[in-house]
């Protein structure tokens, strides 16, 4: 079940311009989200990430589907998160540690793989504001992978009439992280070098 306490947080992810109705109202909402994910091959945006304690970090997100994303945090934060097409990496340069997970084991898999049929594992979350759309994605066979709730604004000039405004991720331990996006740009040139990173562990090179 969708947790009612998340709805105000999800609504706060959305910016406040005037929104239009979807370009293709005949599409179901899930079909529109699927069309959006397949239409957006690359995306860049500024992000503000807030964890369960209320601490917020900012930075720049670069995404290239399928399977690639980079979260470059603000200056002074020695952390980098990169998905390189097969693995999701968490790199802490301060303590020189690296953690790795298969992308499919992360809630972000729903966002990074446009080939997935989201109608099989996602549902629309009812909200009172018709200008916005929330979709909760989770794998019922693997609750340990967590849940991702995507927040969209209905905007006629955006791909499939939707603009991704952010998301809320709940991990297997119910730890919540919210991400709000701004200055989104769709289908811009992004090279694969954007998803390389320097391994801080001794005797390791760039990835």
What are the C-alpha distances in Å from 76 to residues 60, 93, 182, 204? Answer: 14, 11, 21, 23
95: which 2 tokens? 């303590």
148: which 2 tokens? 């991702």
Cis ω on the peptide bond leading into residue 205 (within 30° of 0)?
A: no
Helix (H), strand (E), coil (C) string for 22-35: CCCCCCCHHHHHHH
pLDDT tens by residue, 21-59 = 443 333 489 999 999 999 999 999 999 999 989 999 999
Whether 58 contacts 183, CB under 8 Å: no
Q: What is the pTM of this model?
A: 0.81
Mean pLDDT of 103-119: 81
Identify the pLDDT of residue 204. 67
Average pLDDT, the chain: 84
């Amino acid at each position: 079940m969708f947790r009612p306490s998340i709805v105000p947080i999800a609504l706060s992810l959305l910016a406040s311009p005037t929104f239009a109705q979807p370009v293709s109202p005949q599409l179901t909402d899930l079909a529109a989200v699927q069309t959006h994910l397949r239409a957006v091959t690359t995306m860049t945006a500024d992000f503000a990430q807030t964890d369960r304690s209320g601490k917020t970090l900012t930075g720049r997100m670069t995404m290239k589907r399928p399977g690639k994303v980079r979260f470059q945090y603000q200056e002074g934060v020695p952390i980098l998160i990169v998905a390189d097409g097969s693995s999701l990496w968490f790199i802490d340069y301060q303590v020189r540690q690296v953690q790795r997970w298969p992308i499919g084991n992360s809630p972000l898999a729903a966002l990074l793989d446009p080939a997935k049929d989201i109608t099989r594992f996602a549902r629309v979350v009812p909200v009172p504001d018709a200008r916005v759309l929330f979709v909760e994605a989770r794998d019922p066979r693997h609750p340990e992978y967590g849940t991702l709730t995507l927040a969209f604004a209905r905007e006629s000039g955006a791909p499939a009439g939707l603009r991704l405004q952010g998301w809320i991720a709940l991990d297997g331990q119910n730890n919540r992280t919210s991400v709000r996006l701004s200055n989104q740009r769709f289908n811009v040139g992004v090279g694969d070098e954007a998803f390389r990173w320097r391994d801080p562990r001794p005797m390791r090179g760039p990835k």
